[in-house]
Amino acid sequence: MATEFEPIRVLGLMSGTSIDGVDAAVLETDGEGAITFGPTSFEPYSKAERAVLRKVMGSWPGPGLEQAAELVLEAHKRAALGKDVHAVGFHGQTLAHDPDGARTHQLGCGATLAKMLGRDVIWDFRTADMTAGGQGAPLAPFYHHALARRAGLTQPVAFLNLGGVANVTWVNPQIARPEAPGALVAFDTGPANALLDDFLSARAGLAFDEDGRLAARGTANQSVLDELSDLTYLAKPAPKSLDRDSFAHVLTRLTGGTLEDGAATLTAITASCVGRAVDLMPVAPTKWFACGGGRHNLTMMAMIEDAIGADIKPVEALGFDGDMLEAQAFAWLAVRVMRGLPTSCPSTTGCTSPVSGGIISRA
């Protein structure tokens, strides 16, 4: 039987702010350098399920969330079926995130899921970090550091996650431990897909801009882009994080105009925010690697490349799965929680000292 210090098979479950479904990824790992990739799967939310979750976005714990909570647990249970693993890393569905108020809300009780699955579940990864003065996000940077070293990279690089919100991790892979000074800088850059998806859903009933085709045919509204320079968030030093709807006010500026122009404007906003992020890095990376659904948006990727003035490729260029990186991260972090190893540090979330976050609920 594996001990907690030997590589074990762990399932990571991730449902992001894009609310498209549950990513499930198996890793065999020790939570450090030993990483063997296992099977992956995706459990999509139905249109009706997405509608239920959209209605409760922005909600804090309280009455009225029972249907959504049951929906989240059942979807994660379905995603976990058939996976032969020792334990499960469960992120839950983020409904609201308020780093300035030291609050975050991920829907889904890990203790209940542990009983449903008959497996130990590691969950509530963010609370301990926030209690220690951190933003509670982003949490994947430690895993990005492990992947950079696994890929044999030697120079500073950036991992850009284009989910609902965009976050970036600057990695110096020459430093062995992720919590060591100089190894990482991480923060949310701005919106990625959330605003664009919400705009297209409201205006045209579309789930997303496939391949960025709509944006490619439109013209960005320059006056809206110019307003970005006045946003306090973009000038704030790292680390910092955002709620899914922190930039939602931008949508009020797009009530007129064509669908294509709106898509082009929102895509350009994502790229512009990423471009501003370079100023907050110790050294501008020469190579960027993108994960998350936004890397499939060819127009978004081209705009980002222009904004950062550097090469950006999907993480598949390193041999990794960009659709499953976040789910894998929570499998890897789950093992670190089991071992009492740090999962965040001052340069990734702003916590006062390295923190090992997470609750372990026994089956």
**Interval 174-206: pLDDT, tens:** 999 999 999 999 999 999 999 999 999 999 999
Task: Tell me the β-bridge partners of 89.
Answer: 12, 122
Q: Please give the full DSSP string across 283-331, using - where no structure is assigned.
A: S--SEEEEESGGGG-HHHHHHHHHHHTSEEEEGGGGT--TTTHHHHHHH
pLDDT score of 43 more than 90: yes
CATH superfamily of 141-318: ATPase, nucleotide binding domain (3.30.420.40)
CATH topology of domain 8-134+326-343+356-361: Nucleotidyltransferase; domain 5 (3.30.420)
Q: What Cα–Cα distance (Å) separates residue 14 from each residue in 148, 190, 201, 256, 273?
A: 21, 20, 22, 35, 25
Q: What is the CA radius of gyration of the chain?
A: 19
| Predicted local confidence at residue 231, as pLDDT | 87
Question: What residue ranges of the chain are covered by domains with CATH 3.30.420.40?
Answer: 8-134+326-343+356-361, 141-318
Which residues make Cβ contacts (< 8 Å) with residue 289, sequence separation at least 6? 157, 158, 159, 160, 312, 313, 314, 315, 317, 318
pLDDT score of 3 more than 70: no
Q: Mean per-residue pLDDT for 297-321?
A: 97
pTM, 2 dp: 0.95
Q: Mean per-residue pLDDT for 272-298?
A: 96
Tokens 């997303």 locate to 208
Q: Please give the full DSSP string across 34-71, using - where no structure is assigned.
A: -EEEEEEEEEEPPHHHHHHHHHHTTPPSSTT-HHHHHH
Task: Tell me the β-bridge partners of 355.
Answer: 344
pLDDT tens, position by position, 88-139: 999 999 999 999 899 999 999 999 999 999 999 999 999 999 999 999 999 9
pLDDT band at 347 (very low <50, low <70, confident <90, very high): very high
| Predicted local confidence at residue 230, as pLDDT | 74
What is the three-class DSSP state of 22? strand
State the chain's mean pLDDT as an integer.
Answer: 95
Tokens of 78: 């379905």
What stretch of H or E contains 273? helix 259-277
